[in-house]
Structure 1
Amino acid sequence: MYSGSAEYNYDYLVIFCGDEPAYFGIPGMGEQAFTLWSLKDAEIVNKQIHDMFKKAKYENNPSERSKMLTFIVGYGGFTGVKMMYDM
């Protein structure tokens, strides 16, 4: 049970809070972006990333390969920041 206080050792503390996807008016993001709210969502994102690396492995055009390996996080909430940190 939470006692109301705790002590943590850290180099940096980053806190982000949110409760729903925020697209910040970016056109097409709501229709095209992946969300990350559940284990199932995480599995879908994971598969997409792995699939793009597999496809890029066989792409000879550096420009096209670069496009395949470009990932954008369109929101900076806790989930998006944590996902990019772990990559």
Structure 2
Amino acid sequence: MMQTDVKAISLAASGSAYGSRTRVRGLVIEPGASAGSVVLKDGGSSGVTVLTVNTPAAGQVFNVLIPGEGVLFTTDVYATLSNAKVTVFYG
């Protein structure tokens, strides 16, 4: 079994979470005042959507636990944020 160090990055706007191959292990999401979403893509802003989490309006901060080895992103991890902030755990 391969083991890697887990790292984290917090984003308040859409952007790159990590610039090369990695696995996303989990998320912490802070919803905004209106309903929104966190969309993780592989291959930049126009890449393939790998994971979408819809967020409620004015909701509380919540965790998204990803089982097993996490979700593989072969190129990079790009987060498109709509009315939400996110911390991405990867490695």
> More strand by proportion, 1 or 2?
2
Query: How does the TM-score come out when normalised to structure 1?
Result: 0.28
Larger Rg: 1
> More helix by proportion, 1 or 2?
1
Which of 1 and 2 has higher RCO (CA within 8 Å, sep 6+)? 2
